[in-house]
Amino acid sequence: MSVLDQQGAEATAEEAPAAAATTDAGESAGNAPRPRPRKSALFLALNALSIALGIGLWWALAAAGLKLPTPPEVISKAGTLIGNGTYAKDVSASLMRVVAGFALGTAVAIPVGFLMGWYRVLRSLIEPWIQFFRTIPPLAIIPLAIVVMGIGETPKIFVIFLASFLACVISTFQGVVNVDRTLINAARVLGAKDTTIFARVVVPASTPFILVGMRVGLGSSWATLVAAELVAAQQGLGYRMQNAELYYDLPTIFVGLISIGILGLLMDRLLLLAERKLTGWQERR
């Protein structure tokens, strides 16, 4: 018997009117006109201002004598790397590793999280191992991954997979166990079966948690990339940064840092767009 089965068994016929009223009120609130959002131009202007201030601060610190390359030096180095084809190869290699590891981690984390939240027995069996591996940094797995999987692409993708999986599975699990009990009771009183409750109540209510977990997992994937590319890599932004460190090539290091930040930001904005599309019913500030 699932956790939600045990909760639903406690519902009585007397709860139906209140549950139905709650549901109707929620639907009415969802259909109510929302306040008009502020113009996107304002936010774009604030974003541009923030970027300009950040670049200005960076330039000021470099001019003050801090060992930092100036923005023109970084732009010049980026032009050199783009011109000789190195930059495109590095970005392609890193993107492939991150996307593969993140996609696999998310694809495994979502069903595992649902199972942990839906069945107490599976939660008791799986959760200790999830918590155990969460305390071990994915970077610490690299030596084991090299020994077991060799020095090809597999250990690199596996380390990124592990980072995204651990971030997403807990969020999905929390989404399932935090489903409003009133919704479960209302669905049961109205005669809904387990599959219907899962598809029409649990999954939609858990979607915001899943997407938050995916955003955290995406950040963990990019954060793990540099260490993952320690494993006998010949291309990649992380590899290029580590190679530049040997020669104190700060502009190249900055090109890698900025590229990772921009790529991560763009992928995060795609997830935000998906969140707005999938959770349009959710009230936002």
pLDDT of residue 140 exceeding 70 = yes
Q: Is 10 exposed, middle or buried (0-12, 13-18, 19+ CB in 10 A)?
A: exposed
Q: pTM score, two decimals?
A: 0.76
pLDDT in tens, 107-125: 999 999 988 887 889 888 9
d(CA 185, CA 231): 52
Q: Are 92 and 215 in contact (CB under 8 A)?
A: no
Instruction: Please choose, from the candidates 45, 46, 17, 179, the residue with its C-alpha nearest in 3D space to the C-alpha of residue 113.
Output: 179
d(CA 94, CA 108): 21
Residue that has been written with the tokens 């929390």 in this structure? 174
Instruction: Please choose, from the candidates 26, 20, 39, 40, the residue with its C-alpha nearest in 3D space to the C-alpha of residue 282.
Output: 26
pLDDT of residue 16 exceeding 70 = no
What percent of the chain is predicted at pLDDT more than 70?
A: 84
d(CA 186, CA 149): 50
pLDDT in tens, 157-191: 999 999 999 989 988 888 888 877 777 778 888 87
Q: Is 99 exposed, middle or buried (0-12, 13-18, 19+ CB in 10 A)?
A: middle
d(CA 197, CA 179): 11
The full set of domain ranges for the chain reads 3-26+73-278
Confidence of residue 37 (pLDDT cuts 50, 70, 90): low
Residue at 240: amino acid letter: R
Q: Which CATH number fits domain 3-26+73-278: 3.30.413.10, 1.10.3720.10, 3.30.70.1140, 1.10.3080.10?
A: 1.10.3720.10
Confidence of residue 98 (pLDDT cuts 50, 70, 90): very high
Q: Rounded to whole angstroms, what are the CA distances from 256 to 73, 207, 251, 269?
A: 14, 33, 9, 20
d(CA 132, CA 110): 19
Residue 278 CA from chain centroid, whole number: 16
d(CA 194, CA 102): 30
